């Protein structure tokens, strides 16, 4: 028999796997609540933490905005709109192996890096008042 925690965790993971939108914990909470009405926001946060520790989910901290979450674990970059807050996956072709490159300048053992690209999404650019 499944316990309640597992059921909630699986639902959170399903929500994240079915969306490409990098939701906030609050958005995830609202989606989970439709199926599990008794869930609390605190429980969602706790389960997200466990899923991150287990390597199923990653957190995307964004300057000046609330954290986003995603189930896409493979390394990729993000395009972040400073106006509406949309977060898009960004597969940059021919990207340089920056970990190895950085390693050549340091005796620090580099395992990963994070780069976010901030700017304005297409929609915000099109809606801009001239």
Least Å distance between CB 107 and Zn ion? 31
Least Å distance between CB 47 and Zn ion? 19
Using rule CB under 5 A, residue 89 touches Zn ion:
yes
Binding mask 93-122 for Zn ion (x = CB under 5 A): ----------------------------x-
Using rule CB under 5 A, residue 67 touches Zn ion:
no
Distance CA(21)–CA(51), nearest Å, equals 18
Structure tokens, 121: 């999404």
Binding positions for Zn ion, rule: CB under 5 A:
70, 72, 81, 83-84, 86, 89, 121, 124
């Amino acid at each position: 028999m499944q316990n309640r925690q597992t059921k909630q965790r699986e639902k959170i993971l399903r929500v994240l796997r079915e969306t490409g939108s990098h939701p906030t914990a609050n958005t995830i909470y609202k989606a989970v609540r439709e199926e599990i009405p008794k869930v609390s926001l605190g429980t969602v946060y706790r389960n997200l933490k466990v899923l991150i520790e287990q390597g199923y989910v990653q957190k995307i901290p964004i300057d000046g905005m609330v954290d986003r979450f995603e189930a896409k674990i493979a390394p990729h970059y993000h395009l972040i709109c400073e106006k509406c807050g949309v977060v898009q996956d960004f597969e940059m072709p021919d990207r340089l192996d920056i970990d190895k490159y950085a390693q050549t300048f340091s005796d620090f053992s580099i395992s990963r890096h994070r780069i976010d690209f901030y700017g304005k999404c297409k929609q915000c650019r099109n809606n801009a008042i001239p």
